[in-house]
Amino acid sequence: MARTAGDDDDDGPPPAYAAQRGPRRDPRLKDLGISCMLNTEVAALLAVIRRRPDPYSYLPPAVAAAEEATFAGLISSLKTLRGLLFQPRHGAWRCSDPSTYLTPFLDVVQSEEAPPAATGVALSSVLKVLRIDVFDECSPGARDAVHAILTALTNCRMERFSDAGAEEAVLLRVLQVLAALLRARAAPLLSDSSVCTAVNTCFQIVQHAASSRGSELLQRTARHCMHEILQAVFARLPDIRDDADADADLALGGGSSGAGFGARCMVDVFNFLCSLLLNASDMVITPDGQGAFTSEEDVMLFSLVLVNSAVELGGEAIGKHAKLLRLIQDDLFYHLIHYATEYSPLVLSMICSTALNLYHFLRRFLKLQLEAFFMFVLLRVCGGANGPQLQEVAVEGLISFIRQPTFVIEMYVNYDCDPLLRNVFEEIGKLLCKAAFPATGPMTAVQLQAFEGLVNMITTIADNVEVDKAPDHDAYAVDVSEFRLFWTERWDSSSSSGGGAGAERDTWVDFVRKRKLRKKKVAIAANHYNRDQKKGVEFLKLCHLVPTPPEPRSMAYFLRYSPGLDKNKIGEFLGDPDEFNLKVLKEFTETFDFTGAILDTALRTYLETFRLPGESQKIQRILEAFSERFFEQQTTGVFATKDAAFILCYSLIMLNTDLHNPQVKKKMSEEDFIRNNRAINDKKDLPREYLSELFHSISTNAITVFSTTAAAVEMTPSRWADLVKRSRAMEHFTPCDFKHKLSREVFIAVSGPTVATLAAIFDCAGDEETLNQCVEGLVSVARIARYGLEDVLDELLCCLCKFTTLLNPYATTEETLFIFSNELKPRMATLALFTIANRFGESVRGAWKNVVECLLKLKRLKLLPPSVIDPEDSGGGGGGGRGSERQGHRHRASTSDAGVIFPTTHRGAGTSRHVSGMIGRFSQFLSLDSGGESLLSVGSEFENNVKIIQQCQVGTIFKESGKLPDEALQNLGRALIFAAGGKGQKFSTPIEEEETVGFCWDLLALLASANLHRFATFWPPLLDCFNAVSQLPLFSPCPFAEKAIVALFRVAVRLLSAAAPPQRAVDTRVSEELVFKSINMMWKLDKEILDTCCEGISESIVKLLTEHAGGVQTPLGWKTLLHLLTVTGRHPETFDQSVAAMIKIMSDGGAHVTRFNYAAVIEAAFGFAALKISPLDISTKILELMAESVNWLIQWHKSGYSDPGNSVGFSGSAASSASSVSSLEDASRMGNLAANMFIKLAEALRKTSLVRREEIRCQAVFELGRAFNLAAAGDLDFGPAGCLACFNLVIFAMVDDLTEKTLEYSRREGAERETRSMEGTLAAAAELLADVFVLLLPTLAQAPGFRTFWLGVLRRMDTCMKCDLAAGGGAGVMQELVPRMLKRMIMEMKAKEVLVPTEGDELWEITHIQIQWIAPAVKDELFPE
């Protein structure tokens, strides 16, 4: 760059105009650049203007001067502009009037003499000015400049271009300038009319390009430019104020002209686009060159693309402008519905995209329009009515809707819960199920698409249904206990109860749910009404859908809006002459809005809702009601009276019958129709044009009057006009988010078809991708069904059990194992089955039976790991309660590393993210934890199968069953019990049966151990199952009872070893009684099991009695334990440990023996003492302990029966206290409590005195005597009755039994030794009788029946004498012993003055007589004269 004269020094500073380095740029440099650019453009344009066509040709001076004069004006203006470009006084270009530098170029564009090249260069110059934003909306004169540019573009004449190539080049530049103009910063300054002009100019070029002269490039560029212009226009819509503000500005005297273009031009443009759809056939190129498009489809696609762009850019702002919104509501949607099925799949795809955008941005204002689009387009086309190609596109479009985050819930709330509208969501769900349901052969593209949409829909519901804490089952109930005219009822937020936002939302949810319930009941009532009108009305009353008695308005709404109602019955009801029916007819007719409608359209709308009855009087009544309503709402004033409307209605019905009844040969003409209706309008004629229009309408489109055929309803113009009219009064579409209860009910609407479809696809699918999606859908169903939908979850699990192939009754074990090892589907089904059972087991009910059967099959296949019933793992949860829950959480967290399908979340409160991570892709579960190798290629088939089953975490179901609700737990227990009983089971060998039954009882024991904290509540129903199982036809008690009693004892050990808090003492006692009741029931089913299982039973009992005896708190428990202890002690292999436990209990009696278990302990001790295999020292020890137990009786007697030394015992609860009171009452009834317990002891010793071994018999008699001595020494008060009972029940019985035994042995041959042995025991017993008599004589004498008692003593002495004579031939020991005992007793009686020699004393006389017979040798000594 040249320097100035004063800047010769090379080291001086740079000139002022040099570019400075830094973040900011000198604005003068930009202005200089613009000047240079304009200078270049001017020079180029001048060069083009001056250029000759042939530079080597010679032109005469006159010709050259003429050409120069032609362009003189253009050249002059360009030179003037060039002279202004670099003047120093010139300011910034942005602050200059754009016309200064634009006018010369625009003149060239508009000039008719300028060559095409010059026009193109001028347009390029304008394009540069617009693109680099030389001016903006703030520049002076900018408004005039943009209008001048547009004017120049519209005035550019193309007719002068003879060369087609030159013309096309100019048109391309025009399109570029148009697009740049609408995108320029000053574009908002354009007026509405200017924008419309720009759009029209561009469309004219589109039309011109479609002719034979236009190239493919020009056509595409023109359409693209049209798209850009439209985008530029509608992109400004969100910044434009709505209609209310604009109207306010106009009212204040303002205007829109100063603010640039607004919504008015957008309305015109949008109307133009809709007209393209309407007049598509007129836009097609004709043979004479007219038109702009090659086909109607081309027109549709072009206009739909533009409409789509307008909606996308306008967005929600369209709803603020009523005219624009009305175009969409009234015109656009009708065209979308009308043309959706008439063209190619590409057109349908564009229509679906447009509808999706309209839903996304404007659904609040398009409630009825969207319903019509779904019902008349998507659902019909998806059903296959228009061919497979359109069906595939429609399904894809439907899936696009489903992918919207809130589409599912919004469809349900706005349509399925609205009593006036169709069940759109339910129809969509059922259609997807129907379209996806597999047929024979591989799945088609449509089926796969529908399947994808179905899974997406269910997954969306599942992701939004989950809550931290599931409500109670009753919380899902909806109560409709009062009548409301819910057809017209709307949600009013101001009337909601509660001031908080949460309360308002909850109330809205309840409102929606009640509407849906009423809508369901209305559908049921319609079904009843179709079959029997009276039953239908009664059902309406019962459900509070109409008041009692019914009122006309509610009945009219029922007839008007109930889906599925028989239209013939509606017509018959409305035509009935009854007063109530007439009122209903009036209310029914008032539900229609005929404002602005012509007569035949109104009549069609009216008669579509029912079928006219055949009786003329009924028809007359119905048409009178219609005519009156139509007359009231007419807006044209055609009818002078309502009678005129009625007559014409009747005439239209007759005309319809005449024209469209094939039996009528001579048809009515138009003139006949007009002539028939003369002078009916208050003695005047109706307008001929009006009647002619009615005639042609009826002749081309019949009114359905009497037909009963269910023809498909089409969207006719009249029906659309009625829909638009109804949409004005309809409540707006309600955008909403998912709510838990609503989400659950959304799924209920499609639950049945969904489960059936997913199951069928899983059954038929063979590829991994489809199987993965199926499992994802099935698990999503389970995630929803766990919230109170137990029947759905049961159905799902039953399907999965089927797919495991484990329950195939016709397959052998080898075949089942082969299929499971080599096919992906059974393993995926198994993983899914146990995953769902683990996570959502709280909602499983009857399906536990199928789960248990699968489990047993895996057991038979030897695929279950030992950890399933590992006692060490299961024992930890025996305590139940919160501690066990925390332990369950820790267990799940620790196992999640090994089993990838179980995250560390609560069973019932998992979130969608956790579940999604848990499910993922199920095929990935078939890979090892480390490395990426598939299980199919690592190790043997058996090892692979075991690893897969390990991932199922089967044991977790039982170990963490403490979290299951009672009903689910009881169902699981029942399933195990019936499986153990053999129901539904087939065993190939007895060993297999035994193993299966044992496994079931192991699981039951594990189940019980994990639920000890609520054993008292969940076990009683299972106890009832034992009786039911025993009645099964093929029930085998041997393995069932054998395995059961062992498992139940394990449960008893865990139950009694668990320390229960005092507040749960009652539950603990009940649980204990339930366990031992179950044990007793089991061994009574088959008593032989006590022999076959003696070692296991003995081990459990000994453990209980030695380690946990303090935990046994019920009499039933002690009785069962001690009884079974004696039974198992009969076997030599268990005798030692059993008798040791018995001796330990009796030795530590102060700690464990109480008055409640004393009798059982004594009975058990007798059993051991009398055993044949019991050594003498053991029996002697036990007998001694039995006798010493009298000391316990003495202690209890002195302490008032409070069980000293036993702080736990049976007195630790209210129940035991009640038991104590009951026992004391029994004691008062029977005598002294201590006497009763002593008698139990004495009877046991008495029975021991009858055993075969003489040493034991004698020891028993001795210990019995010692027991009496201890009782007397301890002041154990028997009382007279107790003493008599001791003799009658014990001593007398013992003497009698021994006497009988002695006589029996004496009659046997070769039994002299046994006779002498038994005689010795009898002598000891007789001597004991005398000793005890003397010991208790003071008390016995007080008894009222002492005389009878004494006679009994004398009788037994006499029996002993006779027995000795019979056995020993008169030389026995009794001959010496009996007189001595008699002497001792009588002497003691005399000493105690019980026997007194008084005249007339009956006792003395009887004794004297008896002694003479029994022992005459001592008579004189005892009774001297």
Q: Would you please indicate which residues are annotated as catalytic (active-site) residues?
A: 615
| Pair of tokens at residue 1042 | 């054998």
Quick one: CA torsion of 1195, 1200, 1203, 1208, rounded to 10 degrees?
-160
CB atoms within 10 A of CB 129: 25
Between CA 877 and CA 882, with CA 881 as vertex, the angle to 5 degrees is: 100
Residue pair 348/734 in contact by the 8 Å Cβ criterion: no
Closest CA to 85 of 123, 124, 39, 152: 39
H helices within 532-615, ranges in order? 533-542, 552-561, 567-575, 579-589, 599-607
736: which residues sit within 8 A by CB, 6+ positions away? 406, 409, 410, 413
1301: which residues sit within 8 A by CB, 6+ positions away? 1250, 1318, 1322
**What is the three-class DSSP state of 1234?**
helix
Closest CA to 765 of 432, 448, 399: 448
The reply to whether omega before 549 is within 30° of 0 (cis) is yes
Closest CA to 884 of 1036, 1006, 990: 1006
Closest CA to 455 of 764, 750, 740, 835: 750
**What is the three-class DSSP state of 416?**
helix
1128 phi and psi angles, rounded to 5 deg: -70, -25
Between CA 940 and CA 947, with CA 944 as vertex, the angle to 5 degrees is: 140
| Pair of tokens at residue 1185 | 């302990």
DSSP for residue 927:
B
The CA distance from 684 to 666, in Å, is 28
The CA distance from 1297 to 1360, in Å, is 11
CB atoms within 10 A of CB 43: 12
The CA distance from 1018 to 1012, in Å, is 10
Closest CA to 1149 of 1099, 1184, 1198, 1098: 1184
**What is the three-class DSSP state of 341?**
coil
Residue pair 270/195 in contact by the 8 Å Cβ criterion: no
Q: What is the DSSP track for 636-676?
A: S---SSHHHHHHHHHHHHHHHHHHH-TT--SPPPHHHHHHH
Residue pair 673/691 in contact by the 8 Å Cβ criterion: yes
Cα dist from 802 to 110, 649, 829, 921, 1375, whole Å? 82, 63, 9, 21, 87
| Pair of tokens at residue 263 | 């919504």
Place of tokens 């055609």: 638
DSSP for residue 414:
I
Residue pair 347/297 in contact by the 8 Å Cβ criterion: yes
The CA distance from 1363 to 1342, in Å, is 31
Q: How far is CA 1156 from the centre of its chain?
A: 52
How many residues are given for the chain? 1425
Closest CA to 694 of 721, 658, 655, 729: 655
Q: What is the DSSP track for 264-297?
A: HHHHHHHHHHHHHHHTGGGGBPPTTS--SBSSHH
**What is the three-class DSSP state of 934?**
strand
